[in-house]
Chains A and B, each alone.
Chain A
């Protein structure tokens, strides 16, 4: 079963068997443990603090009535939203980066975040505060921006470089539109919209999490079938075609799924920066895999968003939107990576 020479295991689920590197499995197990620990911490912290034991008892349906209310009704939706949507963003980032073969490609670069914010602001500007409409506006805005970028970047096929530059252009345009729209509305409305625009888990409800799960799970299932073919893209188009893959089709499919995943996350928590960008790269370095792993990216994404939300809620002197933390931590991560990269050659 285990081929020690290649450090590979053969994972069998029913009729499907998947070769898995041992280091990937160990990394996945460690990440899952970190995620669980963060979740317990997140469920226990707050104005009514609970010990990890109390949290676990409450999750099992035992313990005091108040403990159960606090854990299951107050804190669980937010924690679940962080884990689920962080995972969704991690997977989407891995897809973007695999398709463009560029580690700097993420939904932020590709205009989705700014497009979603534009859509949301347009709804806000009409004076509506209805969440369903705001969500719809965000999803429509994000997908329209993505479609626009795709069309503009398409010229006898898509190259990663052109996609990124066109993405930056459209993003800049949308970001100016957003600045302008923010100037047009009342201060209070502008601040509310900006908090969402920075990416926030405040006020996430159980209904919203359920809705997001219903949308995200089928999309992730589609990926299970797309995954093996995605790896062939890493070999370059010529090799991929020679081995019988259809790179253009796979690329379109993967991008469509990635856009849909980011839209789901954005609709619930706003455009949270950097998770999609950093998670796949962190996962790849942790597991030392040559390609980007969707599963590991999901685990890292969930852990990153949950940890960032803990910092946003409990570490800083004022409660901030989680996106402010992710953008700072993510940027700091990039800076460290650059310095380390430079040191290595120094």
Chain B
């Protein structure tokens, strides 16, 4: 991929332009469409009451939430793919989504919670608890957590929790109704009340992710080479687990389970800018929000006046990509 490096400048410009375009569309498009000029007008302090309401109360908070969820998913995807050395890995593999869904369902069923700003905390704590459990199971016994054990433990625990979640939801119509919309993954009605509580965790996750950049490059060469180069493999692995938990937990808390963004974005970043993980991390911070915002805008347009949740749109874009990747891979694999 080194032949692409001279084009890095142009690539960065394209990525930034795409993000800017997605931002404008996300604020302008919807049930109450505004022209880009009207949007700029409101942002500059002008505009009539109605457009001001639509922009400042509805679309800007939703867009900001989308950006936050996107940044979190993009970084989490990059970390988990580098960590498991599996280009097809996704944060959901560590049981994050299942844990969040379980906690949300428990809160809805047993505590009668409905308010999204209360569910945020539950989703976050559930994601945290299950990822830690997966890590404990995956690293029991000799040596550090092995990526394959972690993946298996994540898939298995994820299955248990989704089974129990289904059971809880089916026993209570009210809980079922809340869960079926939460499960789709949506940015609808997410305002700053939802975002603010998780901001510190998101920030911590972002900082750890970027600190891990050089370590991920060392890890890519294999554990032994990494050790020979003086990298502390155990610390890097623990750091990845902490960062993925914080990031994927935040994203799931904000928008519900959104699949495939964490899978697609690191691939696009590698394809555009090469294999340096520091660069991939930086690029995924721009690409993932672009993808989320565009998917969200598409969801508002596709079946207007109704909305298709963003998680459904990303699955429809991401699943075909996964299939293409699986077909392109030359070796038979494990």
Contacts and interface: CB of A to CB of B under 8 A. Distances in A.
B24 to A, nearest CB: 27
A121 to B, nearest CB: 12
Interface in B161-194: 161-164, 166-167, 169-171, 173, 176-177, 180-181, 183-184
Given A334-B152, A335-B153, A345 B141 contact: yes
B238 interface: no
B132 to A, nearest CB: 14
A176 B259 contact: yes
Interface string A292-327: 000000000000000000000000101011011111
B160 interface: yes
B155 A334 contact: yes
Interface residues of B, number: 51
Which of A166, A330, A345 has the largest count of B CB atoms less than 10 A from its CB? A166
A170 B308 CA distance: 19
A187 interface: yes
In this complex, the interface size class of chain A, counting residues with CB under 8 Å from chain B, is 35 or more
Contact of A155 (B140, B167, B184, B327): B327
B235 interface: no
Q: Lowest 6 CB-CB distances: which A-B pairs, in order?
A: A327-B163, A331-B160, A334-B156, A161-B333, A176-B315, A346-B141
Contacts of A191: 170, 173, 176
A332 B162 CA distance: 12
B171 A320 contact: yes
Contacts of A330: 159
Contact of A162 (B176, B183, B329): B329
A173 B314 CA distance: 10
Contacts of A159: 332-333
Interface string A87-107: 000000000000000000000
A327 B259 contact: no
Interface in B14-47: none
B12 interface: no
Nearest to A330: B159
A253 interface: no
A133 to B, nearest CB: 23
B137 A338 contact: yes
